[in-house]
Amino acid sequence: MIIILEPHIQKDSDEYKAILKHLDNLPNIKHRVHEEHGQQQTLTEIYLIGETKILPKDEIEALTGVERVVRVSQEYRVLGRHADDDHRSCSFEYNGVTFDQNNLNVFAGLCAVDNPTHVEMMMQAVSEHGLQCTRMGAYKPRTNPYSFQGHGKNCLNYVFEIAGKYGIKVIAMEVTHEQHVKEIQQALEETGHPTGVMLQIGTRNTQNFELLKHVGRQKDMPVLIKRGFGITLEESLNAAEYLASEGNRKVVFGLRGMKTNLGDPHRNFVDFTHVPVVKRLTRMPVCIDPSHSVGTRQGSPDGLMDLMHATAQGVVAGANMILVDFHPVPSKALVDGPQALRLEELEWFLEDVRIAREAYEKRVALAAKQAH
């Protein structure tokens, strides 16, 4: 059960104290307070855990200062959609960029940071095409221990400084250890916060619960959590809920394909038909990663790369974020060069995305007309 307080109720008010006292007296019920600080107001939600089925909703709703009470009808308490909670927000803003289930942000960038020249070429191209976001891998989880592991903290300062120079607002960056979060915070501090970071939980760490708890405990940076490549959707959505249960609900859910040879010759089996499913079950914006799903630049006789087909399929299904590998000189990329698009292809890629997005918007409008 979720109790949503009226926006003006302060923590030190008599109403707030009376509500908490009431809850403290309920047998076998624990509660957890979650505050969401928006630009205009603070939204306070109290989550009740325990035997809530027998609690009378009306009685709690009648308490002064309570706006409404939502019975949690589904899983994913914080991030899920529940019966009669349509008004609960699906969106969040970070560093001037809005993330929600109705818009689309493109994060084109380097799979792995290699050197400042390539970072600068990438960011310049991104900003010239009117984008505000990019991806920059500093900590790379690699299958082979002898493969390049990423420059780690050594590259953070120049990556953030160059981002500031080109007006990049958000960089998606994977972390595999809590120490990485500290290093990122420190580098942002040292460079004077020229940009923002969306912490990425990679598919290999989707169920690294201690990492999720740690990342969820910091509420400043949003989190992109990738679907685990060999677990069910439900398990991955529960992993996302770990982040929110610790306090950070600025969470984007990423689809990146499933590991099975049945997807051959693609690197993973593309699962973008789950975009609308995640939007139905949760309030998270949904990201697609065509690069790590398809894993190749191969194309078909129609002149389009599979990677662009997959992107369009995700966008036409309503995806809200695209994470895609580009590289100025793919042959020199230290990680995933063969699946990287070239800077000269960015304009084409974005135009293709626009076509797919327009098709999605037309489909939504048609569905709305049908509903009347």
Name the site residues for ligand PEP (rule: CB under 6 A).
Answer: 111, 137, 174, 202-203, 226, 256, 289, 292
Please tell me the distance from the alpha carbon of residue 151 to that of residue 82, in angstroms, as a whole number. 43
Q: Which two tokens stand for residue 154?
A: 């050594």
Asked whether the beta carbons of 149 and 107 are under 8 A apart, the reply is no
Report which of 198, 155, 202 is spatially closest to residue 176, judged by C-alpha positions: 202
Please tell me the distance from the alpha carbon of residue 49 to that of residue 96, in angstroms, as a whole number. 34
CB of 321 to ligand PEP, least distance (A): 12
DSSP 213: H
Which residue of this chain has its Cβ atom nearest to ligand PEP in the complex?
202
SS3 state of residue 127: helix
Instruction: Please state the length of the chain.
Output: 372
CB of 342 to ligand PEP, least distance (A): 18
Distances (CA, A) of 41 to 33, 38, 79, 295: 16, 5, 20, 44
Q: Between 65 and 137, whose beta carbon lies closer to ligand PEP?
A: 137
CB of 205 to ligand PEP, least distance (A): 8
Asked whether the beta carbons of 244 and 79 are under 8 A apart, the reply is yes
**Residue 271 interacts with which of ligand PEP, Mn ion, none, CB < 5 to 8 Å by class:** none
221 CB-side CA count, 13 A: 27
**Residue 162 interacts with which of ligand PEP, Mn ion, none, CB < 5 to 8 Å by class:** none
User: For residues 74-113, which are near Mn ion according to CB under 5 A?
Assistant: 111
120 sits near Mn ion (criterion: CB under 5 A): no
Q: Name the packing angle between helices 346-371 and 306-316 (round to 10°).
A: 30
CB of 272 to ligand PEP, least distance (A): 13
Strands 42-50 and 29-37 turn out to be: antiparallel
Please tell me the distance from the alpha carbon of residue 328 to that of residue 347, in angstroms, as a whole number. 14
CB of 173 to ligand PEP, least distance (A): 9
CB of 335 to Mn ion, least distance (A): 5
Q: Between 142 and 362, whose beta carbon lies closer to ligand PEP?
A: 142
Q: Binders of Mn ion: how many residues, by CB under 5 A?
A: 2
Report which of 175, 235, 366, 19 is spatially closest to residue 184, judged by C-alpha positions: 175
**Residue 151 interacts with which of ligand PEP, Mn ion, none, CB < 5 to 8 Å by class:** none
Q: Which amino acid is at 15?
A: E
Q: Between 120 and 336, whose beta carbon lies closer to Mn ion?
A: 336
**Residue 174 interacts with which of ligand PEP, Mn ion, none, CB < 5 to 8 Å by class:** ligand PEP
Q: Between 137 and 285, whose beta carbon lies closer to ligand PEP?
A: 137
Q: Between 256 and 297, whose beta carbon lies closer to ligand PEP?
A: 256
Q: Between 314 and 318, whose beta carbon lies closer to Mn ion?
A: 314
**Residue 327 interacts with which of Mn ion, ligand PEP, none, CB < 5 to 8 Å by class:** none
336 sits near Mn ion (criterion: CB under 5 A): yes
Q: Between 46 and 173, whose beta carbon lies closer to ligand PEP?
A: 173
CB of 226 to ligand PEP, least distance (A): 4
CB of 137 to ligand PEP, least distance (A): 5
Q: Please report, to the nearest 10 degrees, the dihedral formed by the alpha carbons of residues 148, 151, 152, 158 taken in order.
A: -160
Q: Between 256 and 283, whose beta carbon lies closer to ligand PEP?
A: 256
**Residue 226 interacts with which of ligand PEP, Mn ion, none, CB < 5 to 8 Å by class:** ligand PEP
Question: Cis peptide leading into 116, omega within 30 of 0?
Answer: no
Q: Which two tokens stand for residue 371?
A: 């509903």
Q: Which two tokens stand for residue 170?
A: 């958000």
Which residues of this chain interact with Mn ion, rule CB under 5 A?
111, 336
